[in-house]
Amino acid sequence: MTLVEPFIDVRTLTMDNWFTSLPLAQDLLARNTTCVGTIRKKPYIPTVMLEKERVRPEKTSIFLFDCNTTLVSYKAKKDKTVVLLSTLHHEAAIGEKGKPEIIHFYNKSKGGVDVLDHMCASYSTNRKTQR
């Protein structure tokens, strides 16, 4: 919450899986800020959303809706499933190429997320030692 304090109130934040979680999304929503982001495996995500089963066809989506939160699982390739959390989107809209609108929005607005990932990879705190 400290990182996003300058951006609180009537904004939409795009986050990477380092930061995205259901409790954070609910806290931001309580402060009039919506968010969209990829999400890691968490105990509150149903296993159906995370399965990389070969039976599920490629380019298919599974949506889960709560009061103000949407989870979408999109199977992009044979062994790749992407799960996104959104408090901005509230319907199962599919855009071009069979991708959900949540993924299109995330891809359009993730520029800052990519910069953060690049900076974290460039500046490591690890040091080489002889031990």
pLDDT at 84 over 70: yes
* 41: Cα within 13 Å, side-chain hemisphere: 6
Q: CB atoms < 10 A from the CB of 9, how many?
A: 7
Q: Could you report the per-residue pLDDT of 8-28, keeping only the tens digit for each? A: 876 888 888 888 888 888 899
Pairwise CA distance, residues 93 & 61, whole Å: 10
Non-local CB neighbours of 8 within 8 Å, separated by 6+ positions: 28, 31, 32, 33
Q: Please, what is the average pLDDT of the chain? A: 80
**Greatest extent of the chain over all pairs of C-alpha atoms, in Å:** 56
Domain boundaries of the chain, sorted by first residue: 5-122
pTM for this one?
Answer: 0.76
122 band by pLDDT with thresholds 50, 70 and 90 = low
